[in-house]
Chains A and B, each alone.
Chain A
């Protein structure tokens, strides 16, 4: 267990946009594999930037370690980081997760269509039947053929969860995925997410400004506490 590298390991990481002021300065952030971590990040705390770095879209200005799933991201080319993200990560936005011009099923199977390695992890099962299975577990079996634009916000977020989870990603990043849901649906959505992450063996990094959600997670971190950039 302790042999596995942590899902996320950031050390002495600094980031600033071009010539702007420093946005992030993180001395240490380690998320062990398999954990469900709640990261409290109010707006303006550098949350979007941090997630961009972990997802490999942004590179830190300087760092000792920017490791995700044991891979040093700064050693990869931009194209390789895109491929790494597509292959190993699931990403959930706050809203508007779905491409309006694809069907529910096509939205869910898009990650494995884009990345052959992710398709290979389905173990030979057709992507469509895997997607149907996921949708069924997320209570969306009846909406497989519904146009994406006719789904409710909660349904859209669950479709997005199915898409993020297809092909068993090792790390699921969720950026305020429940902020558009009411309290009841929020709890159920988090339950579903936990269940699916456990089933997939995925590490979950859940970011929200709503501290009340944090109780059910294995670990709670606070970005303002981690980020030394604001402190002078």
Chain B
């Protein structure tokens, strides 16, 4: 206890070095924790992109392709699903609700989704998040379009604006559906999911737009790209999935369970998070090395302190302990400062992150991982302190009561 008190006094005497060292450790700890929290936020945002839907059904193809095209708006669906097939499953006894999706058009790179009010009624994200209107109303007739929050913000559109959609998924210009303009009737609230980057029209709107379109292969009337299913009883989801996969009465279909497909997809892109983690560990290492340098560089000028302590009967071991405790205190205070910093920054910045990057970072109490990191930082601090401590131990033995200047 006395040694700890001495360590604290000695540190507070070298305020500038102490503050700088603590700050550098706090910064690296906050980076480490920040990366961990953002990583968790990304993962949860990702996993929470679609909730409540039991099956996604589309033309026969890869599960990832179906998930990416129908939920994330990435790539194109493998094929189409006929209206008749959709109707058959909509009326299947195990099916509670369905959301039809007609994809294939865009607006300045943003996806256009042809669907029904069922989307707004049943689609869920994160923890029971609903897709809701910020202003206006839902699309009713075939010239109405409802905009995701980001589309409205980035294209500076509001209720009453008139836009022409583009055939295909890229660019804008020669393939525009100029002859079938849409009027913005509503803008959706921010969800921090791909919904924000989508435009919603009615299925009739899609059909009518293409009916009058010249210049591309006519799209077969009344087909869908995919549809989402909510079952009446969760336990039947698996059986229904096998039934759809094995369905030979209609065109070949693929049914995927979103949660499973999302997990698979995360595993295939999740290596990026390891990169971020490695970098933040490297930064922490630099912070700890900075502390080592700071402590080590004072050793020479502190040799007379050590001689004084020795003259008062302090053994070389106590002298060494003093230095280990000093670095332990620096690391512990730095770790706490890092926690304070990361929570302050998150509290201030998470709204911004959500708006600009579509990543919802939850503000949760530190979990096991965070405590493990903090404990690790303090232990690492103590270990780093062993280096100058060993040197001081040697000095103390060698110098004895000689005051070296």
Contact = CB atoms under 8 A, between A and B. Distances in A.
A179 interface: no
A58 B2 contact: no
A83 B313 contact: yes
B12 interface: yes
Interface in A82-118: 82-87, 89, 91, 93-102, 106, 110-111, 113-115
Nearest to B399: A57
Contacts of A195: none
Question: Chain B contact residues: over half helix, strand or loop, or mixed?
Answer: helix
Interface residues of A, number: 34
B313 A113 contact: no
Contacts of A114: 2, 312-314
Interface in B246-283: none
Contact of B312 (A100, A101, A110): A110
Contact of A111 (B14, B313, B316): B313
A152 B317 CA distance: 32
Contacts of B317: 79
B127 interface: no
Interface in B315-348: 315-317
Contact of B400 (A57, A94, A106, A163): A57
B315 A82 contact: yes
B312 A91 contact: yes
Nearest to B7: A101
A98 B308 contact: yes
Interface string B1-43: 0100010011011100000000000000000000000000000
B304 interface: yes
Contacts of B312: 86, 91, 110-111, 114, 163
Interface residues of B, number: 25
A190 interface: no
B308 A87 contact: no
A99 B2 contact: no
B305 interface: yes
B12 A97 contact: no
A57 B400 CA distance: 6
A166 to B, nearest CB: 10
Interface string B378-405: 0000000000000000000000111101
Nearest to A94: B403
A48 B399 CA distance: 11
B313 A115 contact: yes
A110 B10 CA distance: 14
Given A96-B304, A102-B9, A114-B2, A55 B403 contact: no
Nearest to B8: A101
Contact of B401 (A52, A84, A86, A98): A52
Nearest to A92: B311
A78 interface: yes
Nearest to B396: A57
B311 A48 contact: no
B9 A55 contact: no
A113 B401 contact: no
Most chain A beta-carbon contacts within 10 A, residue among B10, B310, B401: B401
A164 to B, nearest CB: 9
Nearest to A107: B308
Contacts of A91: 311-312, 401
A51 interface: yes
B402 to A, nearest CB: 6
A93 B313 CA distance: 14
10 contacts: A48-B401, A55-B311, A55-B401, A78-B315, A86-B313, A93-B311, A95-B403, A96-B405, A98-B308, A100-B305
The 6 closest A-B pairs by CB, nearest first: A86-B313, A101-B13, A57-B400, A91-B311, A82-B315, A85-B313
Given A83-B313, A101-B14, A111-B313, 8 more contacts: A48-B401, A57-B400, A83-B315, A86-B314, A87-B313, A91-B312, A95-B403, A96-B304
